[in-house]
Every structure is written in C-alpha cells, then in structure tokens.
Amino acid sequence: MSSRPDVRPIRRVLVANRGEIAVRVMRTCKERGIETVAVYSDVDRNMPHVLMADRAIGIGPAPARESYLVIEKILDACKQSGADAVHPGYGFLSENEDFADACEAAGIVFIGPRADSMRRMGSKTEARKTVSAAGTPVVPGDNGPEGNGFPDAAAALASARNIGFPVLIKAAAGGGGKGMRLVASEAEFTSAFDGARREALGAFGDDTVYLEKAIIRPRHIEIQVFGDRHGNLVHLGERDCSIQRRHQKVIEEAPSPAVSAELRARMGAAAVAAAGAVDYLGAGTCEFLLGADGEFYFLEMNTRLQVEHPVTELIYGVDLVSWQLDVAEGRPLPMTQTELDGRRRGHALECRIYAEDPVKFLPSPGTITHLRVPDGPYVRNDAGCYEGAEIPVHYDPMISKLVVWGEDRAAACARMRRALDEYQVRGIETNLPFHRLALRHAQFLAGEFDTGFIGREQASLTPGADGPALEAAMIAAALDAASRGRVGVSPASGGANGNGGAGNGKSESSGPSAWRSGARGWRIV
C-alpha cells in the first residue's frame, strides 16, 4: 500500500453488523489483506459472518437493542480485538451520528460519512432546506413554522389547503414508511395527522412531522454518490427501486427503464449538488421521486451503503466496499466522473429473498432444512445464512440478495427468471413465488410500473393466482423468450410452484463465472 503521509492504511476492520452485509464487507477486506472482526449476538454465534472473520466477539442477547445497537459494546469489541476501523454496514448503527462521533473520539476510523453530514441529512426537514439551497429540487411542501415541523393539526391543515390535496404527512426523523400518512381530503386530515405523530414518536422517539405534496404514481429513483477527502465527488448513475410493498423495496434494477441519458445527467448533477452541500464523504444515496411528467424531486439521503448497491457494482464493474476502504484510508476516488460514465454497461437486477409468507409478506422464522442457490455466468448471490441455519425472529428475515447481470434489460430478466427457478428453500416460507410471478408480469417486463405496482397487481402476484392478469403475464414472458431465441425461460417453470420448486427450464449457459476479481474489485470480462 501507499506510504504517502496523507494515507493511513487500515489493518483490522470490525464489522458492526450481521448477515449478508457483514459477509459482503469481509470478503472485500480479505481481498485487500485486511483482517476482520465479527460481532455476534447469542443467536448468531454460528452464522457465516462469525465463521468467516479472523476473530469474533460476543456482544450480548439476541434483541438488537441489547447487542448490535449498543455503542459501548461495539467500541469495547474494537478495543478487545485491536480493530483500527469499523464498517457499520446498513441498518443498526450505520446512520447513527453519535456512533460516528464515538468512533472518532476513540481513535477508530468510521468507514462512512462525517457525523455532521449524517446529522444534517438525518432530519428530513433539515435535509430539504439544505438541498433546496443547493439547487436540488424538492417535493413542494411545508416544514412547518420556522422549519421545525407542525405543532398541531390545525396549523398543518391550513398548510395542506395551500399545498393542495392529496398530501403526505411524514415523520422528520425516520424512514421505512413509519410515521407516514397519505391524506386525500380535509375530512381525514386530523386523524391522520395525530396517527402519524403517535407512530413517529413510538418508532423514532420524535413526533415531528412535515407535509409534502403527494406525487401520484411516482417511480422511486435513487442516485449513488461517492466523495473523498480530496474534494472529489461523483455519482454512479441510478437505481430503480419502485417495486415496493409497504414502502420497503423488493426488486431493484440499474439502470432504470424510465431514465434517459439526459435525465440521468440531470439527476446525477442534482445528487452531487445535494451531497456537496454537506461536504459528503464516502458512499451515500440520494433518493428521488420521478413523476409521470418527467420531473424529479429529492426525497431523502441515505448516509450509508445501500442494500441494493450490487446492481450498481455490476453495471459499472466496481467494488463499492473497496471504494469505501479507499476513502477511509485517505486515498482519492479510483475513478473520475468521465471514466465512470464510460464504464456503464448492461443491465442488472436484484431480488431480495426473504423468509416470509409470499401472500401476506409476514416473517417466517425457522430452520432452513434444504437450500440450493443458483449460480452460473453473471449470477451473484449475497447471502448470510446456510442450510441448517436458523432464521431468528429478532432481525430482518433476509436470506439473500439474488443479483444478475445481462447485456440488456431483457437478457437480465431472462437470467433472473432462470436463477429464481433454480433457487430452492425448504423448512420455511419464502417470497420466491412472488418473485417468480413478478419477473413474468407483463407490466414489469415492459418497464411500466411505479411504487404502487404490487398493491394494484396483488391478485396476479399471489401464488396460486389465475385469471386474465396472470395469463397475460405468462404469455408476455413466453413471447419475450421466443423473440430472443433463448432456452430455459419457460414461463411455466416454477412460476407458482411454491417454495423449493426448481422448475423445468434449462439453464441458459454453463461453465465458469464471467467475473474476475482483483485488489480493487470486480470486473466483467
């Protein structure tokens, strides 16, 4: 590694997380010759991230509030292990500015943005003011008197009348759809306002809410940004995260079928401006709503690595965790914006595979008695469990992130269908049947969807569904396969067979993966 005085090589990274993201971070660390330290709760002592690490330290009982969310326990684990850096992953303490401050005070490198940047973007009202001043468009709305939220329903209602219904009441301190209400008329406003405040207080300890104009049938588009200590700030294009249920992403892809080159450039510039307004360091994501009229509006900034970062990695041929380590060590970004713009290639899709009921989307904890994951060229499965592992009730029930790359969107969809049909899980319920149906749905294949897609099309996305909608979806998949002259993409194979059905289709190809790894990440060959 470089011996430049402004570069501080990292020797040992403690990954303050669990599951697939902990495994993902450790893999890159090992490629770079960096030692890794795992932390684990009592129920996680035999999970893959613990077995992979060079050292593992227990941090307490299963509930996250008694283990993964306790700053003192994480810092003590750093002291015990001699870790000189912490990677927070996503979730848990990843966007906790107090944790970032505590790491700095302890002389430990926090692999993430500065605490001040997190603090300014962590409040949605403050973020709106900050990015608006930087020229990034925001959804028309009102942050309340003096920009600090609304103290009561009467004041908020008066503002809602000026904005025009429908409006969104949103919690200032949180995300994930908590503390959010869509209000269509004055008659339902007061009860919705009170409900949003109660939910926000319970979820975040803060009942501050603000108002936004509701954008009808928007797409959820996010832009990956990256900054270093040398004044460089770039974006790595967009991801379309519109396939959601209850405001939680289920399928993501890059690039978006709704974003042109011209729009990508404008959204990228807006995201870079927003990040620059808070002197952003490391990996971050600016989320936007894209209206049917082509106008886009800043939603929020996630000051961490996103769950869906692999789709960006695949189309740009980079390792974003390696970039995070570069920045944390004081190195400049590996590429300029011009270089990145010239590297974008193909299309990538990610399906989040959860241990959950595929009809009601409720968690389905238990033991995985059988597991077969797909492979083959351009197929990536980021996982944090194994056959025989217990999916606990205490955490997000993700089994893995299934990610594929294709030379275009149609190829990526065909490859994802094949991969989903190969995926087998027994012992627990999973959402695999949902994904198999979604990847055969006519509207999805046409790229014609928005954030309300799952809600509107639930009947044809439910295992065991029949009728015109499902038939149309199956026909569309068959026509797509026929027009491309591909094998192994029979629309009937595994589409609604329940968990563990491998389907009857043949794999598109075989042989070694067409990926090669290096010290700085992955590239397509």
Rounded Cα distance, 95 and 166, in Å: 31
Quick one: tokens of 474?
């199956």
Of residues 94, 74, 47, 143, the one with CA closest to residue 392: 47
Active-site residue, selected from the candidate residues 239, 304, 417, 436:
304
Are 442 and 457 contacting, i.e. CB atoms less than 8 angstroms apart? Answer: no
Which amino acid would we find at residue 86? V
- What Å distances lie between residue 370 and 37, 176, 383, 400, 439, CA to CA? 29, 31, 15, 14, 24
Question: Which residue reads 């603000």 in tokens?
Answer: 210
Q: What letter would DSSP give residue 462?
A: S
Count Cβ atoms within 10 A of the Cβ of residue 242 and give its class: 0-12 exposed, 13-18 middle, 19 or more buried: buried
Using left for φ > 0, alpha for ψ between -120 and 50, and beta otherwise, residue 305 falls in beta
Of residues 65, 49, 83, the one with CA closest to residue 328: 83
Q: Is 418 a catalytic residue?
A: no
Cα Rg, the chain, nearest whole Å: 23
DSSP-based three-state secondary structure for 245: strand
DSSP-based three-state secondary structure for 12: strand
- What Å distances lie between residue 264 and 254, 267, 278, CA to CA? 11, 5, 22
What are the backbone dihedrals phi and psi of residue 141, each rounded to the nearest 5 degrees, phi first? -175, -165
HEC sequence for 134-177: CCCCECCEECCHHHCCCCCHHHHHHHHHHHCCCEEEEECCCCCC
Residues annotated as part of the active site: 304
